[in-house]
Amino acid sequence: MPLLALLIKLDSRGPVFFVQRRVGRNGVLFACYKLRTMVINDVADERPAAGNDGRITRVGRWLRQTHLDELPQFFNVLLGSMSIVGPRPYMPADCRQFAVIVADSDVRHRVKPGITGMAQAKGLHGTPRRDQRIIFQRYHWDAYYVSHWDFGFDMRILGQTVVLLLRRLRGWGPDGF
């Protein structure tokens, strides 16, 4: 992380870490830690970056593609607000929007959010605001995880996540990186 912090500082002005409010277990808000991948802007908490968003820095683009921007979330695990495996935490604005689209969308809040989860292991990343099909798929896998959780299931999800991450790092990923 010190090398990543140096790259962030050399690439753009601002702090190394980005702290964002996310919705956790039982709907409780918590401070989610990430490495900063965008220039400082006033709408970062309401409007997630998408595609060729001009707010994303050069180093930030690579951090997002490799998911290395998520490393500080291990601090969230140590603080007890997150788990290593579980449904990814969303911003409050996304939770409100998705609650209109998906019935029983709060099922995902019955467990701690995770750094990785079933939806990520299936290759579903990000929170696409316009593609309801992907939103439904993510909630389907989150609900499946909540109702089928056990330690072995977490280990399989971790294994699938590692394979996907290695493919992304080597340029074989589903997103064509």
Burial class (CB in 10 A: 0-12, 13-18, 19+), 175: exposed
What tens digit of pLDDT does each residue of 124-175 get?
Answer: 876 566 678 888 899 999 999 999 999 999 999 999 988 888 887 776 545 4
Residue 103 confidence (pLDDT): 86
What tens digit of pLDDT does each residue of 16-58 get?
Answer: 999 999 999 999 999 999 999 998 877 766 677 776 788 889 9
SS (H, E, C) 52-81: CCCCECHHHHHHHHHCHHHCCHHHHHHHCC
What residues does each domain of the chain span? Answer: 2-170
What tens digit of pLDDT does each residue of 74-102 get?
Answer: 999 999 999 999 999 999 988 998 888 88
pTM of the model: 0.85
**Letter for the amino acid at 19?**
V
- Collapsing DSSP to helix, strand or coil, 47 comes out as coil
